[in-house]
Each structure stands twice: as C-alpha cells, then as structure tokens.
Structure 1
Amino acid sequence: MVNVKSLFVGASLLISGIFAAPVSSDVAAPEARSLDRRTFTKAAPDPNNILENTYIVGPNYKSKGYTSATVSDLSGCTALYIWDKAFIPSVFHIFCGQERADGKAAGEMVDELGSQWWAGGAGIFASTTTRAQAVEAGLKEAIPDIRIINTEIYTPGTGDMARTRVTVAKGSNVFNEQNYQGTPTQPGQKN
C-alpha cells in the first residue's frame, strides 16, 4: 500500500527542485530558442542584405554613405523602413509572428535616437494586411505621432524556397520588390 505522507513529501521535494533532473547549461529551453530567434539580434553588416532579426539605424546608414537598403529573404516576414526628413532610413527585418512586438521594439530603438530620425515617417512592406497592421500598431505604441507613408503587401513567389527582397534607395520611399529562389542553407522556411 502507498504511504500518502511519503507521496506528499516526494512531490514536495520534486516541486522544490531537490530531485529535479540536472539540466545542461549549453542546452536552451525550447521557449528560449524561439524567443531568441524572434528579437533583433544585431546590426546588419551589409545594408543591402538585411536578414532575419537584423537592422540598420539611420545614423549608421548616413555616416557610412550608403545609397540603398535591402531587406532580403522575406517569405512571410515584414520589412519596416523608418525615415528622417531627408529619407535616410532605419530598416528592420521583422520575423513573422512577432509583428506587433517587433514593430514596437523598432520604434523604441529609433525614438531613442531622437525624433529627427523618424520625422519623415514609416513604410511597411508585409506579406499580409494583418501583419502590416500589427507592425503599424506596435510602431504607434512606441511613437504615437509617426506618419505611415506607405504600406505595400508583397506577393511571394512560388515554391518552398521562394523569397522576396525589397530595396529602397536613399532619399526615396518607393519599395522595389524582387522575387527569387532561396537556397537550402538560408534560415527559416516558407510561411
């Protein structure tokens, strides 16, 4: 017969962590892996190949004399351009599924630079209207007065490796879209 008191003591010790199985420090919990993938992880090293979860801010773009910025490898993700009055952009590759949160994070990042860096407005290049609206809602949480200049819904190409890239030239707010076939080594999958 099972001793109820022993059962309660065992459960209590298990809950408190005394008998919990050891966890290797080099293995991330599934939640940590998915959250890590869905944040802005670093500045893009190349403004003409801004990949998943990377960005470039206007002051860096301006100081290096770049002439355009391209968000690549879109297959459901969103490109967010935030311009100063001279249309010098801050550009973000927003991973699909995190549009509102990442729109807000992008807005906060640019707002910290000063209002001159968002005075020109913003443009959203998304795969669906719902995703574009979510990015806009998040962006306006961070910068309520920002003006949305243009929103464009892109049509992804066909096939499992279909990707889209969008380029905007310095001094412009016009999205130039191109569909292409990705490679198996690219991160992400068709969404």
Structure 2
Amino acid sequence: MSARLCCSLVLSALLLAGCAVPPADQSDISSIQTTAAENNRTQSLRREPSQYELRITEVSNRLRAACVAEAFQPYFRKSACLPNGITEAMLNDRTRITREQRRAAEGVFELTRELNEDTRRIMIETGTPQEARIAEESRTLSDPRIEAMQEGLLKGTLTWGEYNMRRLELFEEIQRRRALLGEED
C-alpha cells in the first residue's frame, strides 16, 4: 500500500472520531501474528520505511490503542471504532447518551482531534500539494460536520443511531472525495 493511500485511510478513519476495532478471535491471533511477521520480514527486505510512514504508523497505533482502552469502552459499545464497523444495531439505536458514555465520548473526541492534527501536520510536511490539499480539505470541510455531530451526541439532541448514521454517511462521502482526488493524479 502506498504511503499516500495509507495516510488517506488513516486520516479518513481519524476524521470520523470514534472508532471499535472488534477484538480478534483468540484462535486467529497466532496465525495473524505469524502472517504479519512474515509480511514485515518481506517488506523490510524490500526497503526501510520512510520517516513519513513511521510517523503515520505511530498515529495509527495510537488510534488502535484508544479503540481498546477500557476508559473509552462506554463509547465504543455504542459506536464502532471505524465507521465501516458500524452495525445495523448501532444504526437503529434510539437511546441517548448517558453520563458515563458522555465522559468516554469526550475523551475519544479529544484524542481523535489531536490525532487528526498530527496526521494533517505529517501530510503537510510531505511537501506534496495533494497531501496538503487533502489535509486542508479535511480541516475545512469535514471538521465542522464532525464537531456538529459530536455536539449533537453530547447534548443529547442526536440518538446513538442518528449519530452513527451521520458518521457512516460522512465516512462514505470522504471515501468518494478521496477516490476523485486519486483520479486527478
């Protein structure tokens, strides 16, 4: 996967601020680890990762850690870590946020804002016009919608289902925009 695509995917995921990597089936973990180790060895034989890739990986790892952090589980039980993990049950959830979920959501939202900014900074520092354009577009087009979504959830004006639907719709829109930008290359 190219560094640009990797960064775009990480940014897309981070932009949607709320993300549950489902726990892996324990029986699959060793085979996944073995495959990952083999892939890593093969990859390292080809070339060393760039500073850009290392920094993006660091941001990605922080997101993964947040997705399984105990403090954030009240949020992640209601909304998937990554928007493409949102289930039908989550979309149909008519409940409103509780005090415990609000505390967790506030932490998730704060962390993802920080990760989004880190990702944008990395993208801009690449010096490529397309990366800078994607970073700025995410700040100007996506952030206001994300903030409105988050505020609606936190204030209780949106149900969990409405919030999840908006996250999913925004995620799909971002993916379409990324595909169009990719065609411009």
Tell me if both proteins adopt one fold, taking TM over 0.5 as the criterion. Answer: no
TM-score, length-scaled by structure 2: 0.27
TM-score, length-scaled by structure 1: 0.26
Q: Higher relative contact order by CA 8 Å / sep ≥ 6: 1 or 2?
A: 2
Q: Larger C-alpha radius of gyration, 1 or 2?
A: 1
